[in-house]
Chains A and B, each alone.
Chain A
């Protein structure tokens, strides 16, 4: 069965510092995709970054990068130079099986302190 685990229910980071949000996954599929989404208090789900299982390089999107370690089955999100607006819930997800449905972790609530 496919599973996503986020072990940090909540995290604090000082403004302008970098922070790493952990995500581990479990799948027997040879091909899969890993996603990170941000959900601010307003409720919408904002796509941040995607990593394919066959991608050789770690994905980056602006201040977001995904530290993909295939052998360890981890896909940690790194946010550099944190901003107050980064305070939100962050979800790691995996595309599983036919069709592309996403399986989500429980989320990590990030609070950025001024």
Chain B
């Protein structure tokens, strides 16, 4: 058990819908990262938050958004869902990852498997 929790574990929804994925980082970790794993794209970084602020952005679609709350949990919102959004979405956390800081081990949650039908 990595200490990172993600809910829900599985999500099945229809095209055009909106879903919210939730992540709680390990105790003491300030950074939260979101990754998408799909068969065709592999594992791709989406976005990072550090202590409530957006720190880095990857290949995140405009239909997707995220935030990190004062208690450090994070939510990834996916809207206007398409079939191609079906993937395993991971949240990871680390102690560091701030501006100029080293980010050592990143621990991953169990993932949310999203299926868009």
A residues sitting closer than 8 Å to B (CB atoms) are 31, 33, 35, 37, 43-47, 50, 52, 91, 93, 95, 97-104, 106-107
Contact = CB atoms under 8 A, between A and B. Distances in A.
A104 B43 contact: yes
Could you tell me the dominant secondary structure of chain A's interface residues?
A: strand
A97 B100 CA distance: 9
B107 A47 contact: yes
A98 B110 contact: no
Contact of A99 (B56, B90, B107): B56
B56 A97 contact: yes
Contact of B48 (A33, A100, A106): A100
A56 to B, nearest CB: 16
A50 B88 contact: no
Interface string B91-104: 01010111111111
B8 to A, nearest CB: 14
B45 A102 contact: yes
Contacts of B58: 101
